[in-house]
Chain A
Amino acid sequence: MVNEKGKMLTLMLFSGPYASQYADHMCRIAKKALDKGYRVEIFLYGDGVHSQLKGQNPKMFFNIGEALTELTAKGAIIKSCQRCSGARGYIEGEFDEKLDRYPSSKAIDAVKIYSLYSFVDMIDRTDHLLTFGSA
Chain B
Amino acid sequence: MTIMPIIVQITKPPFGHENTFAGLYVASASLSKGLDVIVILMGDGVYVAEKGQIDPQKNIFLPPTETQLNDIVDLGGRVIVDKNALYERGIEYEKLIAGVEVKEMKEIQNVILDHGDKVVAF
Q: In the complex, are there CB atoms of A and B closer than 8 Å?
A: yes
The chain A residues found within 8 Å of chain B, CB to CB, are: 12, 14, 45-47, 83-84, 116-117, 119-121, 123-126, 128-129, 131, 134-135
Q: Residue B6 at the A interface, CB < 8 A?
A: yes
In the bound complex, what is the Cα–Cα distance between A84 and B1 (angstroms)? Answer: 27
Taking CB atoms and an 8 Å cut-off, the chain B residues in 23-55 that contact chain A are 23, 25-26, 29-30, 33, 35
Given contacts A123-B35, A135-B122, 8 further A-B contacts (CB under 8 A): A14-B122, A116-B25, A123-B118, A124-B35, A128-B118, A129-B120, A134-B121, A135-B11
Q: How large is the interface on B (under 10, 10 to 19, 20 to 34, 35 or more residues)?
A: 20 to 34
A45 cross-chain contacts in B, Cβ below 8 A: 22
Residue from the set B1, B6, B11 with the largest chain A CB neighbour count within 10 Å: B1
A-B contacts, CB under 8 A, total: 55
Q: Residue B70 at the A interface, CB < 8 A?
A: no
B98 cross-chain contacts in A, Cβ below 8 A: none
In the bound complex, what is the Cα–Cα distance between A47 and B18 (angstroms)? Answer: 9
Q: Are B119 and A116 neighbours in the complex by a CB distance under 8 Å?
A: no
Residue from the set B19, B25, B26 with the largest chain A CB neighbour count within 10 Å: B26
Q: Residue B9 at the A interface, CB < 8 A?
A: yes
**Interface of B: prevailing SS:** mixed
Q: Are A125 and B29 neighbours in the complex by a CB distance under 8 Å?
A: no
B29 cross-chain contacts in A, Cβ below 8 A: 116-117, 119-120
10 closest Cβ pairs, A-B complex: A135-B121, A129-B118, A124-B2, A134-B122, A120-B30, A131-B121, A120-B29, A120-B33, A116-B29, A46-B18
Q: A129-B119, A131-B120, A134-B122 are in contact. Are A120 and B26 (CB under 8 A)?
A: yes
B26 cross-chain contacts in A, Cβ below 8 A: 116, 119-120, 123
Q: Which residue of A lies closest to B33 (CB)?
A: A120
Q: Which residue of A lies closest to B27 (CB)?
A: A120
Q: Are B120 and A12 neighbours in the complex by a CB distance under 8 Å?
A: yes
In the bound complex, what is the Cα–Cα distance between A120 and B30 (angstroms)? Answer: 6
